[in-house]
Structure 1
Amino acid sequence: MYAFLNKKIIIFMVIIIGFIFISLDQILMGNKKNFTVFTEIEKKDSIIEDHNPWPILYISIFYFTSISLGSLFFLSIQNVSKSGWSVIIHPIMEKISSFIPYGGFMIFIVFLLNTMNMIHIFHWMNPNLYDKIIENKKLFLNIPFFLVRSLIYVLGCSFFYSSIKKISCVLYTSHSLNDYKKLYFRSILFIIFFSFISIFMIWDWIMSLNPHWFSTLFSWYVLSSFIITGISTITIIAIYMNKKGYFPFFNKNHLHDLSKYLFSSSLLWTYFWFSQFLLYWYGNIPEEITFFIKREEIYNSIHFWMLIPNFLIPFFVLISSKNKSNYKIVFLVSLILLVGHYIDIYHLIAPDTGIKFCLFEIIGSLLIIGGFFTYILFINFNNRKSNSSEGNPFFQESKNYKYPYM
């Protein structure tokens, strides 16, 4: 209890430091205008403020919420596929998913503030803006329907998280096959639900930042990023908790399988990245290539540079079977992937909000939201009763799991 209290104090200090960093940005950068690259119609609506930390906070909230969603989605896949090897780390996946209600609530608050014209992230919500393209999308892209959809995403994902967690907690103590069947069925429902709503959620929460641009591959591209960041966080926490003695059954065999998921999901992300870029480069349609041109002008081809942490490093490092079972190497690759996919999320959102790159704001927002994310995890991990998955019928298989080719 004393150790947990110390950790809470450290987390609160980290959050306070985050606020200090954002305040430093206001002091040091307050007199400078944000850098924007907009089309002519977007310029009419863009409201350039001396200091606007909201877009950066929105990026961080979305990033950590996506980690939790990716973790819950991965957990559901493990339940539905009846994978025995991963059962001992199911509690870790559940704890990481615990941020979903909080992250979803904060995102919804951002939307409400935007609809009240208190902040300006989604420019199409400006009532004074007239744009023929946006007008043609009013049937889908209107404030009431947008808020209703967002509420469905947040409440739906929160419901499935709470439901899966509740059934799991009962299963871990009851050892009942009926409870396992309930967990299996609920996981199927979540996969169906999330596979459907994630497409619209990503359209709404990211792609609608620039209503003039659209991509049919975009949702799958971002969804693959959810999965990677979720698995990376699971891997980091599993290694850390094992070193601290909380998950003694976790070993190199389980780490090897997690590494294979990291490796394959990185390839999946790269496939979507290349597919989208190749089609746009070949078609060379002005309405489509503005996405890449804008980011090239602002960030000097970051779209290509982020292939290094998100594809090249995990590919060449984890292609070795020996490296897949090395704790230090996999831990480092997981950290690199988390950094690389934050860069990816940043480059998807920031250019369409008209903000200037500022390291103080980025660090501050990551410390604030990341600190809150960590605090929620610690609260859940402090409940030791739900840190073991012994009631799962595949627990013994997971406990004794051996990778046959190691």
Structure 2
Amino acid sequence: MIYQLSKNYKKFFLSTIIFGIILLLYKWSQFFFKKKLLYIFNDQKLWTSIYISSIYFFSISIGSLLFLSIQNISKSGWSIIIHPIMNKISSFIPYGSILILIILLINIIHPNKPIFHWMNDYLYNPKSIYYDKILMKKKLYLNIPFFLIRNLFYVLGCIFFYFRINKISYFLNVSYSLKYYNKLYSNSIYFIIFFAFISTFLSWDWIMSITPHWFSTLFGWYFLSGILINGIVFITIVSIFLKKIGVFHFFNKSHMNDLGTYIFSGSLLWSYFWFSQFLLYWYGNIPEEMLYFFKREKLYYNIHFLMLIPNFIIPLLLISRKNKCNSNRLLLISIIILIGHYIDLFNLIDPNFYNKISFGLYEISSLFIIGGSFFYILLSNLKNQTLYLTEHPFFKESKEYKNHNL
């Protein structure tokens, strides 16, 4: 089955990119008329909003590749139908990871260090009034050269495994050779080992180091569970969408039921890490750690607890098999969860810089520009591409997959 992409979809997302740019220019025009044009490049809100959107859409792509690799190494038969969808969603990995790396580089050379305060030299000078003893003790890890080397390793590794797995999947579907199936299995193992190793350090570097005085022993697992949920939820949304427009015929209620089960169990896992992290700090009652929650509770109107509604309460609806097998309900729940995890990422980063919720034109324009680019790249990769991995040894099993409990 070859999917011929309607030009209207690409035009729509190209329009969202243009609209986002217009919003950004409108915001910048305010500085132009106030003769503060140079302030644009020093505007912390600009960099944080781009940074949040970049990590968010990157997490969807890398989460999709992670879920694909899990299916490969578990030799699951039911999911072969959606393997090409997972491959296409992960196509944003090279763009997203390079974008994040560019933002990190800009922060390194920027005189005001808009995102990573710990990069300022005066914090490590004993003669400075801003000398920070805590950061001085962490300098062995938090220093710019080592930080840059680590992040190059993260980015290049993710890009390598994306192209590697994508290439092997392509040859598996055109060569009729089982050797590519074995290569897909082994490379998926290597990627999971690689990402399991870097995900903790990546979460420390990209998010937790923004507030270097605060740390969490569970943060790596918390971040990883959010990435996996983002990937599975978006796989579900794209699969249902393609089914609704009539180009994904073999995707059935049994596949939806299994994806819904993964979303439900993954959301419970994320909620477990959320609760465990909060419980440790609440019980320990250590002031420098509890400040993280106090700010989000008082100044951000309990955003830390309110985000449990889309990320924990709403997914509980998937206990019902009827909801998992109803495409409209599953689609709506998936979209709500996806919004909930953006709120989660916003909650992790934005309160570190501001004393009130500040969601405005910068955040909206960043979502339109980066999100529009994400969808445009996805749809461009779907164009004229087969939606089925027909030469996979388990393809027939997946095509005829039926859950007998339905």
Shared fold per TM-score greater than 0.5: yes
Indicate conservation of the 8 Å contact 2:49/2:362, yes or no: yes
**Matches of 1:361 and 1:336, distance apart in 2:** 22
Deviation at 1:50, TM superposition (A): 5.9
Match of 2:309 in 1: 308
Q: Determine the structure 1 residue equivalent to 2:127.
A: none
Q: Does 1:19 align with 2:12?
A: no
Distance in structure 2 (CA, Å) of the matches to 1:86 and 1:233? 15
**What is the letter of the counterpart of residue 160 of structure 2?**
F
Q: Which residue of 2 aligns with 1:121?
A: 115
Distance 2:288 2:73 in 1: 41
* Higher mean displacement: 289-298 or 352-361: 352-361
Alignment of 1:204-223 (within 5 A): 204-223=205-224
Residue type at the aligned position of 1:399: K
Question: Could you tell me how far apart the structure 1 residues matched to 2:185 and 2:5 are?
Answer: 36
| Alignment correspondent of 2:84 | 91
Classify 1:31/1:139 alpha carbon distance in 2 versus 1 (closer, same or farther; 3 Å). farther
Structure 1 position 361, deviation (Å):
2.0
| Aligned counterpart in structure 2 of residue 63 of structure 1, from 53, 56, 62 | 56
- SS of residue in 2 equivalent to 1:246: coil
Deviation sequence 1:61-85 (CA, Å, 0-9, x none): 0000001111100000000000100
Instruction: Report the alpha carbon displacement of residue 287 of structure 1 after superposing the two structures with TM.
Output: 1.7
| Matching residue within 45, 58, 65 for 1:72 | 65
Kept after mapping to 2: 8 A contact 1:56/1:362:
yes
Q: CA deviation at 1:245?
A: 2.1
Q: Give the AA of the match of 1:112.
A: L
| Structure 2, unpaired ranges of 5+ | 35-40, 124-130
> Which letter does structure 1 place at the counterpart of 2:94?
P
CA contact (8 A) 1:175 1:393 kept: no
Of 163-172 and 237-246, more deviation after overlay is shown by 237-246
Deviations, residues 220-245 of structure 1 (Å, cap 9, x unaligned): 00111101111110000000111122
Alignment partner, residue 12 of structure 2: 10
The runs of 5 or more residues in structure 1 that have no matched partner are 33-47
Could you tell me whether the CA contact under 8 Å between 1:209 and 1:353 is conserved in 2?
no
Indicate yes or no: 2:146 matched with 1:145: yes
Distance 2:144 2:61 in 1: 26
The 8 Å contact of residues 5 and 383 in structure 2, kept in 1 or not, is answered as no
Q: CA RMSD in A?
A: 2.1
The match for 1:319 is 319
In 2: Cα distance, 1:8 partner to 1:328 partner: 23
* 1:191–1:327 distance in 2 versus 1, CA, 3 Å: same
The alignment's TM-score, normalised by the length of structure 1, stands at: 0.92
Deviations, residues 43-76 of structure 1 (Å, cap 9, x unaligned):
xxxxx96673110010000000001111100000
Rounded Cα–Cα distance in structure 2 between residues aligned with 1:298 and 1:382: 46
Give distance in 1, aligned partners of 2:215 and 2:282. Answer: 15
1:388 maps to 2:388: yes
- 2:106 is equivalent to residue 104 of structure 1: no
Q: CA deviation at 1:4?
A: 4.4
For 2:320 and 2:144, the matched residues in 1 are separated by 50
CA contact (8 A) 1:217 1:276 kept: yes
> Does the CA contact (< 8 Å) of 1:71 and 1:230 recur in 2?
yes
Tell me the secondary structure at the aligned position of residue 134 of structure 2.
helix
* Secondary structure of 2:339's aligned partner: helix
Contact 1:26 / 1:51 at 8 angstroms: preserved in 2? no
Residue 38 of structure 1 corresponds to none
Question: Alpha-carbon deviation of 1:295?
Answer: 1.4
Residue identity over aligned pairs, in percent, reads: 57
Count of residues in correspondence between the two structures: 390
Which amino acid in structure 2 is aligned with residue 70 of structure 1? G
* Residue deviations 1:275-312 (CA, integer Å, cap 9, x gap): 01111101100121111012123211111101100000
Partner of 1:40: none
CA distance in 1, matches of 2:283, 2:173: 53
Structure 1: distance between partners of 2:337 and 2:30 = 31
Question: CA 1:161–1:267 in 2, change beyond 3 Å: closer, same or farther?
Answer: same
TM-score by length of 2: 0.92
Task: Report what 2:128 is aligned to.
Answer: none
**Residue aligning to 1:37:** none
1:154 aligned partner: 155
1:198 match: 199
Matched residues in 1 for 2:262 and 2:163: separation? Answer: 25
CA distances 1:183-204 after superposition (whole Å, capped 9, x unpaired): 0000000011100100100000
- Give secondary structure in 2 for the equivalent of 1:212: coil
Helix, strand or coil at the partner of 1:53: helix
Displacement, 1:11?
1.9
Change (3 A) 1:27 1:51: farther
Asked if 1 retains the 8 angstrom alpha-carbon contact of 2:254 and 2:403, the reply is: yes
**Letter of the 2:73 counterpart:** V
